[in-house]
Amino acid sequence: LPQPLLYNRISNRQFSAGNMKGAGASERDRGAFSSLSAVVEQAANQSSIMKMRLHRARSSLASLNTSDLRLHGRENDMDMLLGKLRNIDNLKDEIIMVSGSSGCGKSSLVMRGLREPAKKMGIAFCGGKFDLNNNALPYSAVVDSLTELANHVLASENVSQILAAINDTLGEEDMQLIGQAMPGCRNLLSVCLVDNGRSSHIKLGGGKEAVSRMQYAIRRLMKAIGSHLRVLIFIDDLQWADDASLDLLLSLQTDDEISSLLLVGAYRDNEVTDGHPLTIRLCEADKLGSTITTIELKNLDCKTVQSLVAEVLRMEDDTDKVSNLSTTIHKKTEGNPFFVLTFLTSIYDEELLEYNMAAMQWVWDDDIVKERFVTANVTSMLVSKLKRFKLAEQNVIKVASCLGASFSTTVLSTIIKESQRSSTMQRTSYLRKSFTFSDDGSDNLDGIITTYETAGIWERESEDNNRFVHDQIQSAAQELIPIEEQAYFKSVIGGILLKNLDEAMIDESLFVIVSLRNYVSSSLTEEERSDLVRLNARAGFKASDNAAFDTAVVYFQAARELLGSEAWEFDQELMVRLYSAEAQARFVMGDLVVMEQLIEEILSKEDLSVKDKFQAYETKVLAATSGNRFGEAISTASYVCDQLGFKPLPAKAPKSRLMKDYMTTKNALKGLSKEDILALPNLIDERVIMKQRMMELRLAPQYHANPDLHPIVVLNMVRETVKSGLNRSACDAFSTYGFILCGAFGELARGREMGEIAELLLERSDMRPMKSRTIYIVENMIYHWTAPLGMTLAPFLKGYQAGLESGDIDSAAYNLGFRGWNLWFSSRPLDEISHQLKINKGVLIKLKNENLRLCLLPHFQAAINLQGNSPKPELSGEEMVYNELYDLSVKTHNNLVRATAALTQLELFVIFQDWMSAKKLMAKAGDLRPVVFGFFQSVRYTFVECLICLKVAQASGSWMEKRDMKARAKKSLKILCGWAEKGNVNVVHTIHLLQAEYFAFNGNSVEAEEKYKEAVTAAARSGFLQDKALTHELAGKYYLKKGDDYWAKYHMNLAHTTYLDWKATAKAVDLSNKYPQFVGDDSE
């Protein structure tokens, strides 16, 4: 009963506490009174609850509905994203980018459109966000996303399988590297990274190898996870991403071996120009074959804003009533969704928008709303909103905004507690006021955090982490700090963290702390400036160790600028390390101008030793070689060796000097077995180590600029190794020595032994960086001399893999490129060759090795042409045009591309028997052997040259030409026979074929026919299909000319069949067209 009515009924019965206690009151009356009292009390309680519920209902109606809103105007975009998510297993090469202005709803679209559906589909949704205020933190958003992914994995049903896959895929050192750069992955990787309270630290080494190694390790981690778990990574605010993160994301996106990974990014299109790093990476991804799907979010139109406003005000059933208000809001905010909601919240807070409980609807005055806010902007609205909070609450959010878009509650608490005791806070009245965090002196941080969560200012990410709901709110929070105080305010926060966090926490938050301290670089005491210099140096070295070179240079430069002209007087040892590391970082980034300035600064210091300057010299040589300034690279390396006290090498190498060095080296190795060499002591003399490194760096530019001196450098390295001991340079020394022994001196067995020594050295733990390069040298330049060519194919793949693992992507590319060449020459079926070369071409593009990509194109195009239906001896098509590629190679002095293109075109002329065109090209291209010295191409060219000369001599009407061509062929045949006598099994069948042609030319029929048979048998035994087919064809022509149709048909049919086995359809058609009477019927 309603309470008044209940009381009336009770009073009408004349019950009261007084008369019920009197003597005249009966037990029945007293019992009735007790019961009624209980009823009254219960009714009163129920009334109170009803009032509370009514109050809550009224409060709910009178508050804005700003949670779980529909994404107005984004329905089609939501459907598209959901469709992509459902097809995640087939989106290997696709990346989704969401672009638009700040506040247009990019993050909301992805989170609402993908996060919950992904969870229902068992897809791990992992997100990260870059922060404008902390853009000097390497990999920040990637770290956040991989941390979330690690948590997904550990909570997954497949965790045991995923951990097993990770253990099978990653080595312990790679796990440590990932854990070092991505701390959130440490638990997942199950690697102990703690030693005496500090994380185990591994240096990646310098240069581009460090970047490649880090990227490859993380790609393998993603490959292991992706084999058991579908993953969606969302990276927000890519316009603020560091270069290292962008390169890593591009590397993940373009890795074909990572399955079930969908990468989604968001960025502000008004901040990303054509020259922006993100634009450059997206163009690279497009060139690499990735499909880039871009969702461009525009502001909402007036009608959609009206729909949004109606939902916020719970007036969806009568949207016309909000028409005028929506028009005002649309005009003010231009339809930006975040600004629309901010505007509504602002006029609500200002009580210009109120809920009329009597009318049960929202009321406002359109004219007052227009007039009041016509000049206001959204940022000022947010600032005004924040200023309505208590002073202590404002102070908390000011500090939190300086820590980043995401911040730790523990760190925030440390600042609040320690600031109360810091004398620094007494420097200015503003600091004293700003570091007051409660009205009564109590610590109410938890309450303040909850207040901001309730107000929608930030949201809790985890137990210890919170994130601002929008970066505009973070920016508004920072505007609470006067502009003239902001820098010092942030610096003070950094100082508090530095003084009060333990060493482990400092290392974890190092980049944040240093960035905050860097806001004030003037008005520092000497001690403060000294500490800040060392902090920046420490941050720079840490970033370099994690291959984040673009971040490293920020801190290195800050340290240098703090010291100015006094840098070298401050701490010379530290400056040497800093300048050298920054020069190396600048080289990796391609900033060669600043790199040169830093190197020259180091080299100009006369009181520094060669050892002090060595890293600078090393970078200088690498940069010169990378820029094709081979002479500069050679002279720098030679100068360093001279400064170290070693006798300089000659500027020229006459044959007599080469033979002298060769004999000296031979004598140095005399009596040393393979085991003796492997048992040599480790090289420990630092002076010799530096010398050997310079000689190692000199090898490539020497080979390109002055190949005559290349053997002198190699022989010197071998002798020094025997004399002083083994280190990583020994691999280059012995592998290259073996290459020279085979190619220059014809000592095939001894050369192979040197190659085996180099490979055995790779088993040493310190030789890992040399593995990829050693493999491509021994397989491409040594082993083909004495082993079947097909046996090199599998090792090349191991060399490619080793290069990726160690970060030596140049050597990885060479392994892949040389394997492509040997695929062609070893007569694999053409469909297999074209398939493999297509893959290799794409990989070489990703590895950014344009030179080797161009070298593969001739073989790729030849394989395509031969599989066609039209006989086509010209090396031209969709992949390349011979004349264009040849002219480009001549123009750019790219002799390797020129030689590869010319040799492949010669091969096609031979296959299609166009001897006159072959003769002209051979004359134009010249002798290609010096260009491909030691490669199998040099062997192949010798065979092709000999065959062309014999066929031209047979057809020529000039006795002088016959004589010259025959003499040239005889010389080439002699070279081939010499190789065969020393154990080269890949030339035996070619020698038999050339001898057959030679005998045929001289009219020795019996010998010619016998040699044709031997050539066919040897080619079949060695697996050279194209040469077997060629031998049958030439034998068929021989018998046809002789008038023996039976054997002509026999060989022509076998030629036709063998060409088809090789998948050379175009050549088979060519034979059918030219010899229809002999090809097609093999019944006999």
At 937-974, the pLDDT tens digits run 999 999 999 999 999 999 988 889 999 999 999 999 99
Tell me the whole-structure pTM to 2 decimals. 0.80
Cα within 13 Å of Cα(712), Cβ side: 19
CA 832 to CA 835: how far, in whole Å?
5
* Among 236, 285, 304, 267, residue whose Cα is nearest residue 469: 236
pLDDT at 909: 96
Bridge partners, residue 256, by sequence: none
Residue 62's pLDDT is 67
Q: Report the phi/psi class of residue 456: left, alpha or beta, with left for phi > 0 and alpha for psi in -120 to 50.
A: left
Distance CA 735, CA 756 (A): 8
What are the residues whose beta carbons fall under 8 Å from the beta carbon of 77, sequence distance 6 or more?
71, 109, 113, 295, 297
The DSSP H or E segment spanning 421 is none
Q: What pairs with residue 264 in β-bridges? A: 96, 234
What DSSP element (H or E) covers 291?
Answer: strand 291-296
CB 736 within 8 A of CB 695: no
Distance in angstroms (rounded) separating the CA atoms of residues 281 and 1037: 56
Q: Which residues pair with 261 in a beta bridge?
A: 231
Average pLDDT in the chain: 86
Name residues whose C-beta falls within 8 Å of residue 304's C-beta, 6 or more positions apart in sequence: 72, 73, 335
Q: What is the pLDDT of residues 1013-1069, one digit of tens each?
A: 999 999 999 889 999 999 999 999 999 999 999 999 999 999 999 999 999 999 999
With tokens 């208000």, the residue in question is 325
Stretches in the chain below the pLDDT threshold 70: 1-62, 134-136, 190-207, 372-377, 420-443, 1080-1084
Provide the token pair at 877.
Answer: 């098509």
User: Going by DSSP bridges, is the β-strand pair 291-296/465-468 parallel, antiparallel, or unpaired?
Assistant: unpaired
What crossing angle do the helices spanning 936-955 and 988-1002 adopt, rounded to 10°? 10
Residue with tokens 């993940």: 252
Q: What does the H/E/C string look like for 525-569?
A: CHHHHHHHHHHHHHHHHHHHHCCCHHHHHHHHHHHHHHHHHHHHH
* Residue keyed to tokens 């806001």: 519
Quote the pLDDT of residue 319.
81
Phi, psi of 228 (to 5 degrees): -130, -10
pLDDT at residue 819 in the model: 93
Residue 180: the pLDDT is 83
Residues contacting 471, CB < 8 A, separation 6+: 102, 131, 132, 237, 405
State how far the Cα of 394 lies from the Cα of 382, in Å rounded to an integer: 12
